[in-house]
Structure 1
Amino acid sequence: MGYSLSGAEYSVDALRGDGYPWTDPQGERTMPFMTKDGFRLYYEDTGGNAPVIMFLHGAGGNHLSWWQQVPVFADEYRCVTVDQRGFGQSPDVPGGPGPAALGTDAVALLDHLGISRAAIVAQSMGGWAAVGAAVRAPERFWAIVLANTVGNLTNADIAAVRQRLAAASPPRPAVLWHAAIGPTFRKQQPVRSFLYAQISGLNAPLTADFRDQLLRLTTPVERYAATRVPTFFLTSEEDGLIWPELSAKVHAHVPGSRFERVEAAGHSTYFERPDVFNREVGAFLKEHRP
């Protein structure tokens, strides 16, 4: 059984695989967590033996953010979504490592689930996790999508472009979700804009300390390029957080990577233009599917 929303076809039957949603063999509801050094990471897993996609949300999201992707991709892939450390149902432990552990958390979850290789589809902050995971264990990933993100990839050339774009840009809205979706979407889709805000509101408030820690983390783009993991940079014309020109510059430093710019979308293309996002990401993953 399927249904259509915003031009995308969704399959309900695809979500009825083993282990999803959250049931034990007796049919009782369970809460799936990975425990690591006292930290509990919440995840959801559609199960099955198909190639795996791990979806990694941004700072305005959590595992629920991918509601327009999982029903689409679950027909052909095993889909894993998570509440990353510090978000949703995965609060960090007191004095925990914070964003520095995002990449190791992703690899640890693959180990926990017995998954040898996966693709990552990451948005915004999820790019930090994707990059961190890839440089630590490149053999574990058959493709990476960096959507409206360049992660923490940098070098002198990239840093100069970032500094120039930041100086020329207007001040960012004080409310995170106002910056995370584009003006076209906010104007044309008030109901779904409200839904984005509600999903984001399930997270604990993002602290200045967390943001500062995140922005201090850097990875030389040359180190990431050396992993040779097939990479797709997907950006959008209304993204005022990770500017399209910045994504294009990082793409130019990753040989063999793919680049696409989407019209009429802001920082959350996956949420604002799911039809285009799913089509472009689906084509890229199909090309590299193991």
Structure 2
Amino acid sequence: MASVTVNGATIAYDNHGEGEPILFIHGIYSSRRQWDQQVAHFSNKYRVITCDLRGHGQSSSTPDTYSVKLFTEDVIALLDELGIDKVTCLGHSFGGLVAQELALSYPDRVRGIILAETMYGLCSTPWDSMAGMMWNVWLPKMFGVENYMGLISQYFGMYTPGGAAYIQQEAGRHMDDPANQENILMASLTFDSRWRLHKINRPTLLMVGQYPHIPMIYVHNWEMYWRIYGAKFSIIPQAGHLLFWDNPAAFNREVEKFVASLA
């Protein structure tokens, strides 16, 4: 592990391989560890960068009000530190919000973006806001944090050996710091790219799993496909929200095909 101090936070990252750079951004309450299988696969041919977003994994939490914009600025500062001019960015779930903002605010730093099981925000409609509050606020209070973690880890990890244990450990750690957890949550609940999607002018691949763990993601992705000019769409078979774990062979194949098309 390496780390760099950017914008007042210590950002943990790993840097493997050589070649065209690919940046992998994890989902909410997760860490760069979720990409272990992708690092092993892609670092033979590409330069692979994984990082822990501020307040996640081994990166420090700060008293700042978190936002997707702030996370994006952290990523840009990391790329500057590593001397990377342009990158292909793959973001999963919450990480996909950062990838979108990267393409919108810093298009000259982006070769292409891959949005895996992500959405355009949780405040675009009352239904989106309600869904976000249900998953992240109401259910933990209703069932208690420990029972809630058991519930979501079994739900999202049902197709992956070891997936449930990882989710319970990683996400549960964030639940132990309520202030940081709420700060991260508010960043997701205040982001909305719906009416800016047409401004994304970098090659884009949208990816979803065959099994819709989060039905809203399917709805958002079809709209994103329509709004982002030239976007490509891929459904990973025998996979759910954790598609990079559920079917890594198919996931890696689609990612590699897209990255190769950018050459």
Q: Same fold (TM over 0.5)?
A: yes
Give the C-alpha shift of residue 209 in structure 1. 4.2
| Structure 2 counterpart of 1:197 | 168
Map of 1:227 onto structure 2: 200
Aligned to 1:140: 109
User: 2: CA distance between counterparts of 1:250 and 1:177?
Assistant: 32
For 2:162 and 2:14, locate their aligned partners in 1 and report how far apart those are by CA, in whole Å: 26
* Mapped contact 1:103–1:131 kept (Cα < 8 A): no
> What amino acid sits opposite 2:210 in the alignment?
E
Letter of the structure 2 residue corresponding to residue 215 of structure 1: L
Alpha-carbon distance, 1:181 to partner: 7.0
Aligned to 1:33: 3
Letter in 1 for 2:52: D
Match for residue 238 of structure 2? 264
Secondary structure at the aligned position of 1:115 is classed as coil
Match of 2:144 in 1: none
User: How far 1:198 moved relative to its partner?
Assistant: 3.2
Counterpart check, 1:110 vs 2:94 = no
1:69 to 2:38 alignment: yes
The amino acid of 1:121's aligned partner reads L
Q: Distance in 1 between matches of 2:120 and 2:153?
A: 16
Gaps of 5+ in 2: 141-147
**Whole-Å Cα distance in 2 between the matches of residues 133 and 215 of structure 1?**
18
Counterpart of 1:274 in structure 2 is 248
User: In the alignment, is the contact (CA less than 8 A) between 1:46 and 1:74 conserved in 2?
Assistant: yes
Aligned to 1:119: 88
Deviation of 1:151 (Å): 4.1
Equivalent position of 2:25 in the other structure:
56
Any idea what SS the aligned residue of 1:229 has?
Answer: coil
Q: The residue matched to 2:27 in structure 1 has which SS? A: coil
- Structure 2 partner of 1:90: 59
Partner residue of 1:130 out of 56, 76, 99: 99
Per mean C-alpha deviation after superposition, the further-off stretch among 34-43 and 189-198 is: 189-198
Match of 1:43 in 2: 13
**How much does 1:247 deviate?**
0.9
The change in CA–CA distance for 1:178 and 1:104 in structure 2 (over 3 A counts) is: farther
**Aligned residue pair count:** 250
Amino acid at match of 2:164: S
Q: Give the Å deviation of 1:116.
A: 0.5
Find the aligned partners of 1:140 and 1:64 in 2 and give their Cα distance. 25
SS in 2 for 1:68: helix
Distance (whole Å) between structure 2 residues aligned to residue 178 and residue 136 of structure 1: 37
SS of residue matched to 1:55 = strand
Question: 1:110 Cα shift?
Answer: 0.8
For residue 46 of structure 1, what is the amino acid of its counterpart? H
The 8 Å contact of residues 127 and 150 in structure 1, kept in 2 or not, is answered as yes
Change (3 A) 1:246 1:227: closer
Q: Which runs of 5+ in 1 are unaligned?
A: 1-30
Q: Is the 8 A contact 2:32 2:51 kept in 1?
A: yes
The sequence identity of aligned pairs, in percent, is 26
Q: 2:49 matched to which residue of 1?
A: 80
Return the offset for 1:285.
Answer: 1.0
Q: Could you say which residue in structure 1 is the equivalent of 2:209?
A: 236
Deviates more, 1:226-235 or 1:208-217: 208-217
Q: 1 or 2, which has the higher helix percentage? A: 2
Q: Secondary structure at the match of 2:37?
A: coil
CA deviation after TM superposition for structure 1 residue 249, in Å: 1.5
Contact 2:17 2:45 in 1 (8 A): no
The SS at the match of 2:91 is: strand
Larger Rg: 1
| 1:96–1:57 Cα change, 3 Å | same
Q: Secondary structure at the match of 2:119?
A: coil
1:216 aligned residue: 190
Q: Distance in 1 between matches of 2:230 and 2:254?
A: 17
